[in-house]
Structure 1
């Protein structure tokens, strides 16, 4: 597993996790809202903004019956046809350029998820620094080959993929020219629950495929993402909106600005806390050693007086002998008069 660059930013275990704000359809078909989402993502400290590049016609057929219609009371999109849903959620291709320009002006990496060959060709003209493959397309091997052939880094969500399917996807990407790869652990439910996130897959996937692994997270809050970083996630992607109460196709499981800011802060803290295997006091802890317990004279003693449990105790601070030496001290005599509050040292014992 190696670190690599996506645009101007290094991605890898030696860097804070890359936090990607996924706009998806949260622009609610307003370019001004889309640009406001860019600004809010940058203000919250996100490192990258991601779009989705498709049209309703590149995704499905304009039918409103059978499997083309969502009739599921547990779904956020119950009562919509697939065509209607994708038409409502898609980002018009004419908007990509102004969104990309605003993101770059704000210092954000910006790229997209293509859903077919035509969208890859379109994004190539925009000089995207990377490509994201959605979970529902991770078995679309022609699309995988098309994207891999660009030579750009690939980020692939693994939602629903079996191990055999994932093996085929990774082999296909590598054979077609992908060198820099991140697999994202993903649970394709909306929202996802923490108990269905199975984050222990992250280190297992990293070991199996020898690549960086991250998280595409549809759960609420930031707890799942922080846990993923503790397990080695180098990329975290979350859907983002200005205000969930304003609605939108993905609003219900999207972060708001203050939550995205917390995600950026807490995932970096989690990464910083990993550190290395270490025992004993750190340099920062050295000053705290004085607050350990140690052996002190707790009653004035005359020269020759025997140490016992009434005149010597383990108390704070830590300037005397370690408490573990108490049994070796008891029964010995004071070499000189000792005042209450004297830290014991071997030189004070006869």
Structure 2
């Protein structure tokens, strides 16, 4: 069964379409609106199809508490309190309209991840055309139901989720009459490590749910993204920053513009390399075919003399008889005098 496509604006996403590449700004504006605008322009120049932000406040994510449950004990954000982390990382809601307008002027799609119903309502007022559901929210069934009810395309990450949890989230979307969604393989570690990426899951997700599947990639570098495209990913999402020297909660695992641009170039080259199932001979291969092996005369042969392993050989180039006829020709007689270095033809054999 052919995997279906979804449509975002004028772009179709899915099998047979160019990979849709998302630059995730996240916290990399580091609290500076001008930097956020600059990130949008840099993402466009680097080849991104879309810029993504996140819509939340510390109070819509958690509560301000010093209890042990709200402290991060390991990983990139070790030692942080959840409320304090989200204070540092959030994108002010009053910026959203400016950023959306700037993205539209720049010619790049704009969307966001809402983390509660108030964020969805806010984004609806802005006229955002599609939504992202984060891996951590895949178990928030009421939120997924509310987002799906807007009947807009959804990109949903599946990091940390069991197959059963993914199925429940998918059924929640479908129950709202929304079939415009795709799934993102994701390793919710920051940064993710290659040996835990399990990119083979991309094919399984495609076959199980019959929807476009992508990769939300938190690993360093571009190898996983390019491999994912080769394995059928229709969307790639990577965190994007102007420079890792500009510190933010996400800067350590984000790509700089030149790195992102190289990744996009590699993805586009990979797409061309994947091509289609074909046993036809390309134009460039046709030139190379002339240098394949064939049967040549390697010693002068007189008319009536037998062809032997000493006077004919299978060598390059391909101007003589095909090698498969070699044993058939041995011990037959020459019908004419043949000089060394002559490609053997049937007319030369009596």
- Taking structure 2 as the reference length, the TM-score comes to 0.97
Aligned residue for 1:56? 58
- Per mean C-alpha deviation after superposition, the further-off stretch among 43-52 and 340-349 is 340-349
Aligned residue for 2:342? 342
Work out whether 1:84 is the aligned partner of 2:84. Answer: yes
- How much has 1:280 moved relative to structure 2? 5.2
Aligned residue for 1:308? 308
User: Aligned equivalents of 2:34 and 2:170: distance in 1?
Assistant: 38
User: Aligned equivalents of 2:91 and 2:266: distance in 1?
Assistant: 30
* Residues 107-165 of structure 1, C-alpha deviations (whole Å, 9 max, x = no match): 11110000000111111122222100000001111111111111111100001111111
Q: Contact (CA 8 Å) 2:295, 2:323: kept in 1 or not?
A: yes
Work out whether 1:288 is the aligned partner of 2:288. Answer: yes
Q: Contact (CA 8 Å) 1:294, 1:323: kept in 2 or not?
A: yes
Work out whether 1:243 is the aligned partner of 2:260. Answer: no
User: Aligned equivalents of 1:251 and 1:219: distance in 2?
Assistant: 12
- Taking structure 1 as the reference length, the TM-score comes to 0.97
Aligned residue for 1:260? 260
* Residues 41-81 of structure 1, C-alpha deviations (whole Å, 9 max, x = no match): 01101111100000111111011221112233xx2112221
- How much has 1:318 moved relative to structure 2? 0.7
Which secondary structure does the structure 2 equivalent of 1:262 belong to? helix
User: Aligned equivalents of 1:111 and 1:101: distance in 2?
Assistant: 11
Which secondary structure does the structure 2 equivalent of 1:246 belong to? coil
- How much has 1:324 moved relative to structure 2? 2.1
Which secondary structure does the structure 1 equivalent of 2:91 belong to? coil
**Where in structure 1 do 4 or more consecutive aligned residues deviate above 3 Å?**
none
Equivalent positions of 1:124-163 (< 5 A) are 124-163=124-163
Correspondence for 1:42 among 18, 39, 44: 44
Aligned residue for 1:210? 210
Aligned residue for 2:15? 13
Unaligned 5+ runs, structure 1: none
Work out whether 1:177 is the aligned partner of 2:177. Answer: yes
Unaligned 5+ runs, structure 2: none
Report the aligned-residue RMSD.
1.2
Aligned residue for 1:2? 4
User: Aligned equivalents of 2:285 and 2:50: distance in 1?
Assistant: 36
Aligned residue for 2:69? 67
Aligned residue for 1:106? 106
- Per mean C-alpha deviation after superposition, the further-off stretch among 110-119 and 123-132 is 123-132
User: Aligned equivalents of 1:148 and 1:29: distance in 2?
Assistant: 30
Which secondary structure does the structure 1 equivalent of 2:304 belong to? coil
User: Aligned equivalents of 2:83 and 2:119: distance in 1?
Assistant: 17
- Per mean C-alpha deviation after superposition, the further-off stretch among 198-207 and 277-286 is 277-286
